[in-house]
Amino acid sequence: MVALQERFTQIRTFIFDVDGVLTDGSVGLLASGERFRTVFIRDTYAIERALKAGFRVGIVSSANADGIRSWLAAMNVKDVFMGGPSDQKENAYLGYIARDGLNEADILYMGDDIPDLTILSRAAVFSTCPADAVDDVQAVCDYISPMVGGRGAVRDVIEQVLRAQGKW
């Protein structure tokens, strides 16, 4: 547990997938054909706290949802990479860290499914997942949240990092 706590103290950037992490993975379908997702208000609060504490928060997702984009913009999450093919997530991630000169050892990434594996498997990244992530993802993660996607997993990792750094 000491090593885990030490790892929490190193984090400067959070990067999250959307479906299955920020949401529970469900997509609601309206008669108009419009699709919608829901987010957990406690996860929202934690993201706001992280941003106010000076952490970077980024999104890397193949989801292309205007509602999620609007929600992220309202919270001032500026590093949003959404809408590419799921097999290109690592390219978006690598482009983000190269663009901003980020150190992978300072990054906590949370994903839940097979398209996240290439990022979660990178040696320097602090890889995390929700409790309901697929088995292949859980097998490579440094930390598995006791909370499920879209229901507190994001809050869990942010709160633990901020607490470890005396910023909660």
List the binding residues for substrate. Answer: 19
- Given strand 13-16, what is the order of strands in its sheet? 79-82, 56-61, 13-16, 107-110, 126-129, 143-144
Binding site members for Mg(2+):
17, 112
Element of type H or E holding 108: strand 107-110
Query: CB neighbours of 71 closer than 8 A, spacing ≥ 6?
Result: 39, 44
Tally of residues, the chain: 168
Q: 3-state class of 128 per DSSP?
A: strand
Q: Token pair of 42, please?
A: 């406690």
Binding positions are: 17, 19, 112
Contact 116, 17 (CB under 8 A): yes
